[in-house]
Structure 1
Amino acid sequence: MGQTLSEPVTAKESAYCQNEHYRVGSSCMQGWRVNMEDSHTHILSLPDDPGTAFFGVYDGHGGASVAQYAGKNLHKFIVKRPEYKTNIEVAMKQAFLDIDDAMVYDEACADQMAGSTAVVVLVKDNRLYCANAGDSRAIACVNGEVQSLSIDHKPNNEEESKRINDGGGWVEFNRVNGNLALSRALGDFVFKRNALKKPEEQIVTAYPDVQTREITEDWEFIVLACDGIWDVMSNEDVAEFCRKRIGMGLYPEEICEELMTHCLAPDYQMGGLGGDNMTVVLVCFLHGKTYDDLIARTSKTTNATQTEEMDLK
């Protein structure tokens, strides 16, 4: 864990945007950390591909430069890949490597120990593509059920540990070379110096996993958040927390704020849980209807579930 404050900074920077397809809310909070190193993105229609939406959360470490650069530019690297028109999954994977390479030559991002996770979602033609490098995470709530959209990249995972060792590194205390608590990231160039290995084979790689889904009328919302949330709550807990509050009529940005407050440690004596920077993006699917329609739908099904649970007792 990084340096901490004597009292947390609980001020939240929140925003929202909406069109006929989405109602999106976001919020971020510095918390107990000395600096805020996260970044995030929500774009309802990409300038270079109108009608395509893009959302991302970037959890920086060792400084905010890599997260901020990725937040401003990663979607641009994806769209300009030659594969983008025919194979978005490949375009996203290569774009992560492209932006990583570009940052090596950017003075603001070239710090060897600065890095960032990246979990991003691109939605085009009712297809969702989620690319992830690191331990930020994305989930979906589909007809009240949780779907995981990403896999955390931790050094003690078998596949990750093998790449780390093959690249010349080691895993100690569940950290890369005893230092980094995640095994894939943008930046962290000190772990990417093996000239005999490809970018995706380095001790730490920016190469993401990509999952795809078809968006149907049953899709209610997705949540993208940094590990400051997931260290405290499970996928199911977060989905239930958000769904309940949608049914209560809260707006997405308000739900993001409440989620962070819920996860914030009351003091810094909890082994680091709830002490990290926190960032949440909540994307609600409208399917051409209104947000009030989503409120009514989730409220109705949530109340029905609660009635069934009472009947079983």
Structure 2
Amino acid sequence: MEGSVRGGSGNVGSSESRPPNPLAGANRQCFAGVNAGHTPISGTLVRHTSLKQISGIPIEPEVSGKKCEKEYIPIVRSGAYVDIGFRQNMEDTYVCCDNVTDEYCLKNTGDGPNAFYGVFDGHGGKHAAEFVCSNLLRFIMEDEDFPKHIEKVITSAFLQADTAFAEACSVDSALASGTTALAALIVGRSLVVANAGDCRAVLSRRGKAIEMSSDHKPSCMGERTRIEATGGFVYDGYLNGQLNVARALGDWHMEGMKVADGLGPLSAEPEVRKMKLTEEDEFLIIGCDGIWDVFRSQNAVDFARRKLQEHNDPATCCKDLVDEALKRKSGDNLSVVVVCFNSIPPPALAAPKPRVQRSISAEGLKELQSFLNSLGN
């Protein structure tokens, strides 16, 4: 999301001043081999092995009398791809974790996946994106209310990450930057998506696109009302004339954007949506705004479905989406994660037959011919 800050004074230092990164090994996947030998940054392809019958944490009690619902367990497998696009610097990052159970030694779990995915679109530098990517899952897992009150927990984690980054910037001002953030948790059959900014998550349910997030732009009526109520303003589509998103983490260095109590015009509080997955749910696309600048939600689902039917590989599907976005002249960094909920590709959808078959009678055809002849004469 480089170029999203207008008239700002962000000061981003070298990579040596980054805060500690507890998941550095996972994050290095985003750029491993990308900039070796000082060559131009290109895309990075990451594959994740399909997981079967993973331990999980049930969120909702089983309901008797619904045998088919109880038996359905999603099988998650994911892939990701990033590309610098036409920007000078790469400020996006992401996380893919198909199984957080082993990572955090969770116990007393039931059947089903415990997975975490996220896309973080930095602006004014990449430090905020890397910090949130590295710490957000830790804040979620360390909350004693997880997974019982998962929506409250994930909201709290966003705000904790924002506050922790403010503290890191107070120690090292060279870290000053901001990031939008979208995170998706799959716990058992429950899909929970939290978004702050203009990244987007779209679910394919039997080929139909279901948006699991809203783009938080300053010009949106709800965001504009909130901004003005907290002392900010929207000018030419920009928050306080500087930032083209209404919610983000970081940006503490930008005057008038945030205050200590978190009630400033730029909010880090995510919008959270929750849905129970069914057999008809095929895959989830999580992408930065560079993807959605050139794809409509349904268009992206249609495109990804065709590609998955061809090769059934979520990582390759991510590369396909990014390559197509570049062909469509997206001008931003590009990052996308695709999470499939089945081991088989999406099924072909039969076109519905028309309910009424229309035809013309012999008498009508004769009258039409007569009319055409009269025109010729």
TM-score normalised by structure 1 residue count: 0.85
Match of 1:72 among 131, 134, 146: 134
Q: Residues 24-66 of structure 1, C-alpha deviation per residue, up to 9 Å, x if partnerless?
A: 1100000111100001001011122474100000000000001
Cα separation, partners in 2 of 1:255 and 1:169, compared to 1, 3 Å = same
User: What amino acid sits opposite 1:131 in the alignment?
Assistant: A
Does the CA-based 8 Å contact 1:265-1:275 persist in structure 2? no
Report the more deviating stretch, 164-173 or 107-116: 107-116
User: What amino acid sits opposite 1:164 in the alignment?
Assistant: I
1:235-274 alignment to 2 at 5 Å?
A: 235-264=297-326, 274=330
Match of 1:145 among 170, 184, 208: 208
Report the more deviating stretch, 122-131 or 184-193: 184-193
Does the CA-based 8 Å contact 2:128-2:176 persist in structure 1? no
Cα separation, partners in 2 of 1:216 and 1:260, compared to 1, 3 Å = same
User: What amino acid sits opposite 1:284 in the alignment?
Assistant: C
Find the counterpart in structure 2 of residue 281 from structure 1.
Answer: 337
Match of 1:11 among 22, 42, 46: 42
Does residue 98 of the first structure (1) align with residue 163 of the second (2)? no
Distance 2:222 2:176 in 1: 23
1:152-301 alignment to 2 at 5 Å?
A: 152-189=215-252, 190=254, 191-194=256-259, 198-199=261-262, 201-264=263-326, 274-286=330-342, 291=343, 294-295=344-345, 297-298=346-347, 300-301=348-349
Cα separation, partners in 2 of 1:54 and 1:110, compared to 1, 3 Å = farther
Does residue 42 of the first structure (1) align with residue 67 of the second (2)? no
**SS in structure 2 opposite 1:179?**
coil
1:208 deviates by: 0.3
Distance 1:161 1:57 in 2: 24
Distance 2:226 2:145 in 1: 26
Distance 2:275 2:258 in 1: 35
**SS in structure 2 opposite 1:33?**
coil
**SS in structure 2 opposite 1:86?**
coil
Cα separation, partners in 2 of 1:243 and 1:279, compared to 1, 3 Å = same
**SS in structure 2 opposite 1:248?**
helix
User: What amino acid sits opposite 1:38 in the alignment?
Assistant: D
Report the more deviating stretch, 108-117 or 201-210: 108-117
Gaps of 5+ in 1: 4-8, 267-272
Q: Residues 231-273 of structure 1, C-alpha deviation per residue, up to 9 Å, x if partnerless?
A: 111000000000011111251111111211111157xxxxxx6
Does the CA-based 8 Å contact 2:76-2:340 persist in structure 1? yes
1:204 deviates by: 0.3
Distance 1:185 1:165 in 2: 17
Does residue 59 of the first structure (1) align with residue 121 of the second (2)? yes
By percentage of residues, which structure has more strand? 1
User: What amino acid sits opposite 2:165 in the alignment?
Assistant: M
**SS in structure 1 opposite 2:84?**
strand
Find the counterpart in structure 2 of residue 23 from structure 1.
Answer: 77
Distance 1:85 1:110 in 2: 35
Does the CA-based 8 Å contact 1:100-1:187 persist in structure 2? yes
Match of 1:122 among 168, 174, 185: 185
Report the more deviating stretch, 160-169 or 173-182: 160-169
RMSD over equivalenced CA pairs, Å? 2.4
How many residue pairs get aligned? The number is 287
Q: Residues 189-239 of structure 1, C-alpha deviation per residue, up to 9 Å, x if partnerless?
A: 1244435xx41x321011000000001111110000000010111000000
Distance 2:353 2:89 in 1: 46
User: What amino acid sits opposite 2:3 in the alignment?
Assistant: G
1:2 deviates by: 2.7
Report the more deviating stretch, 252-261 or 54-63: 252-261
Distance 2:243 2:159 in 1: 19
Cα separation, partners in 2 of 1:114 and 1:157, compared to 1, 3 Å = same
User: What amino acid sits opposite 2:42 in the alignment?
Assistant: A
Instruction: Work out which of the two has the higher radius of gyration on C-alpha atoms and give 1 or 2.
Output: 2
Report the more deviating stretch, 246-255 or 231-240: 246-255
Does residue 2 of the first structure (1) align with residue 67 of the second (2)? no
Find the counterpart in structure 2 of residue 269 from structure 1.
Answer: none
